């Protein structure tokens, strides 16, 4: 922070209008033209409004408050705000709206957040957050520089995101063509016909509390399209896993998401032997004498199979695929040599797509880092 800048608590440079906000349950909302805001943005549009001016919101609960999490944002015009976002009206003779938003988003506010199970930035701690206050003219100059820089970064981000999506589409196109070509003329069989007696089943129904040094249990968030994401892996009690011994992984099983986030499919590697799965994930145990598990995984990842699975979704609030339907998924069954050739082609395509995707993801991370660096320079008074 630049020497000579005044620093004052947020509660002294704004009016907090939390007393005026009001939640409406989803059941009681009347559809209308006015945005209904929560902790992270617009949740719905309703009939009626509580505010009709430019204001600043920041999440009270249900948000993220780390540096760069963009927990603060602007609203304007006729709006309704529920009780999960603080409503701030800056004293505009002292602090600009965008100055506050940029500063709050650049700062790590976690030291002001309380609660372990339900983290919350309560109003008392919100008021204590120190805000640097250069003269208004300096605030305006710095905000204008940041706005201009962020416009350029937004264009760069949009370009990188478009290229990332293109890489994914190219892989999908190539995978579809490879399978259509190599499976042409092959008979199609029900998925269950490819299985050992272990068949198609799902895993642990209630995972319970996380158990340190427990058994890793894969959920839909961990099973991605032809890959595993082990961030946030759930560890369950060994005794609970033993109750569901039928889905203790032995390596080579095909896992398919059947609840929540659909589309995930991957083959279990040997380093996951002994792990388990939740009921959101189906375990498909392929007989290697009949089909290659990797061939089945790649097929389930094709647009053809994904579209079929989407068409089998049932339920309103919690959509999913019944195992009885999944068992009837038609899978082309060329000879094992042709399956092996299809897997080799698909693996090359996947490796190429992954390499390109990682490059664009790295570029997106660089853009995020540059945003944060610009904000740090701005509030250190280093933007000339």
Residue 346 confidence (pLDDT) above 60: yes
pTM: 0.65
Q: Which is more confidently placed, 352 or 37? A: 37
99 Cβ contact partners less than 8 Å away, ≥ 6 residues apart: 139, 142, 143
What is the dihedral sign for C-alpha 351, 187, 308, 246?
negative
| 323 token code pair | 């195992």
Q: Does residue 314 sit in the same domain as residue 371?
A: no
Residue 26 lies inside a defined structural domain of this protein? yes
Go through 3-22 and write b for each residue having 16 or more CB atoms within 10 A of its CB, e for each that does not. Answer: eeeeeeebbebbeebeeebe
Residue 179 lies inside a defined structural domain of this protein? yes
Residue 102 lies inside a defined structural domain of this protein? yes
| 30 token code pair | 């009347």
Q: Does residue 58 sit in the same domain as residue 196?
A: no
Confidence of residue 189 (pLDDT cuts 50, 70, 90): very high
Q: Does residue 167 sit in the same domain as residue 220?
A: no
The pLDDT value recorded for residue 221 is: 92
Residues of the chain by 3-state class (helix, strand, coil), percent to 5: 40, 25, 35
**Averaged over 201-211, what is the pLDDT?**
92
Residue 234 lies inside a defined structural domain of this protein? yes
Residue 1 lies inside a defined structural domain of this protein? no
Distances (CA, A) of 292 to 51, 328, 340: 61, 18, 7
The pLDDT value recorded for residue 206 is: 93
| 91 token code pair | 């004293």
Q: Which is more confidently placed, 68 or 235? A: 235
**Averaged over 148-164, what is the pLDDT?**
83
**Averaged over 101-124, what is the pLDDT?**
91
Confidence of residue 164 (pLDDT cuts 50, 70, 90): confident
Q: What is the pLDDT of residues 4-57, one digit of tens each?
A: 789 999 999 999 999 999 999 988 999 999 999 999 999 999 999 999 999 999
The total number of structural domains in the chain stands at 3
Residue 53 lies inside a defined structural domain of this protein? yes
Q: Does residue 86 sit in the same domain as residue 168?
A: no
Q: Does residue 168 sit in the same domain as residue 205?
A: no
Residue 299 lies inside a defined structural domain of this protein? yes
Q: What is the pLDDT of residues 281-333, one digit of tens each?
A: 999 999 999 999 999 999 999 988 998 988 887 765 567 889 999 999 999 99
Strand pairing partners for 73? Answer: 57
**Averaged over 342-356, what is the pLDDT?**
84
Q: Give me the percent of the chain exceeding a pLDDT of 90.
A: 61
Q: Does residue 198 sit in the same domain as residue 321?
A: yes
In whole angstroms, give the CA distance from residue 183 to residue 302: 13
Residue 338 confidence (pLDDT) above 60: yes
Residue 172 lies inside a defined structural domain of this protein? yes
What is the dihedral sign for C-alpha 313, 264, 302, 198?
negative
The pLDDT value recorded for residue 314 is: 75
Q: Does residue 222 sit in the same domain as residue 353?
A: no
Instruction: Give the helix ranges, DSSP H, for the chain.
Output: 97-106, 123-128, 136-182, 238-243, 293-300, 303-311, 323-326, 336-379
Q: Does residue 13 sit in the same domain as residue 27?
A: yes
In whole angstroms, give the CA distance from residue 173 to residue 325: 26
CATH of the domain at 62: 3.90.220.20
The pLDDT value recorded for residue 286 is: 97
In whole angstroms, give the CA distance from residue 21 to residue 86: 9
Q: Does residue 276 sit in the same domain as residue 368?
A: no
Q: Does residue 245 sit in the same domain as residue 314?
A: yes
Q: Does residue 196 sit in the same domain as residue 328?
A: yes
Q: Which is more confidently placed, 346 or 276? A: 276
Q: Does residue 20 sit in the same domain as residue 119?
A: yes
If you average pLDDT over every residue of the chain, what do you get? 90
Tell me which of 73-82, 159-168, 220-229, 342-351 is least confident: 159-168
Q: What is the pLDDT of residues 239-280, one digit of tens each?
A: 999 999 999 999 999 999 998 777 799 999 999 999 999 999
The pLDDT value recorded for residue 50 is: 96
Contacts of residues 263-267 at CB distance under 8 Å and 24 or more positions apart, as own/partner, are 263/225, 263/306, 263/309, 264/220, 264/223, 264/224, 264/225, 265/223, 265/225, 265/226, 265/297, 265/300, 265/301, 266/223, 266/224, 266/225, 266/226, 266/227, 266/228, 266/297, 267/293, 267/294, 267/297
Range of the domain at 11: 6-134
Residue 3 confidence (pLDDT) above 80: no
Q: Which is more confidently placed, 263 or 136? A: 136
């Amino acid at each position: 922070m630049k020497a000579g800048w005044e620093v004052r608590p947020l509660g002294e440079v704004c009016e907090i209008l939390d007393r005026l906000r009001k939640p409406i349950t989803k059941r009681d909302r009347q559809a209308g033209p006015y945005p209904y805001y929560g902790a992270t943005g617009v949740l719905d549009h309703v009939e009626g409004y509580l505010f009709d001016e430019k204001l600043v919101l920041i999440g009270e609960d249900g948000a993220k408050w780390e540096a760069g999490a963009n927990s603060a944002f602007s609203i304007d015009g006729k709006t309704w705000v529920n009780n999960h976002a603080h409503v701030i009206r800056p004293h505009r003779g002292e602090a600009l709206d965008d100055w506050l938003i940029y500063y709050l988003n650049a700062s790590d506010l976690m030291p002001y957040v309380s609660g372990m199970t339900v983290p919350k930035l309560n109003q008392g701690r919100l008021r204590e957050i120190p805000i640097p206050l250069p003269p208004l003219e300096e605030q305006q100059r710095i905000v204008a520089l940041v706005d201009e820089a962020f416009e350029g970064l937004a264009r760069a981000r949009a370009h990188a995101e478009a290229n990332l999506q293109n890489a994914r589409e190219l892989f999908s196109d190539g995978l579809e063509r490879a399978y259509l070509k190599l499976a042409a003329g092959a008979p199609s069989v029900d998925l269950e016909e490819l299985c050992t007696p272990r068949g198609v089943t799902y895993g642990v129904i209630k995972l319970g509390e996380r158990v340190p040094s427990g058994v890793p249990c894969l959920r839909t968030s961990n099973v991605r399209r032809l890959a595993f994401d082990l961030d946030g892996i759930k560890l369950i009690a060994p005794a609970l896993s033993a109750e569901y011994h039928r889905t203790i992984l032995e390596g080579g099983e095909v896992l398919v998401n059947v609840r929540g986030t659909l589309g995930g499919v991957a083959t279990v590697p040997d380093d996951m032997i002994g792990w388990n799965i939740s009921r959101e994930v189906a375990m498909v145990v392929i007989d290697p004498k009949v089909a290659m598990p990797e061939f089945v995984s790649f097929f389930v990842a094709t647009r053809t199979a994904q579209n079929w699975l989407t068409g089998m979704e049932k339920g309103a609030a919690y959509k999913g695929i019944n195992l009885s339907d999944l068992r009837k998924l038609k899978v082309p069954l060329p000879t094992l040599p042709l399956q092996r050739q299809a897997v080799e082609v698909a693996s090359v395509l996947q490796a190429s797509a992954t390499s390109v995707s990682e490059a664009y993801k790295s570029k997106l991370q660089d853009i995020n880092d540059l945003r944060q660096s610009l904000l740090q320079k701005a509030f250190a008074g280093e933007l000339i």
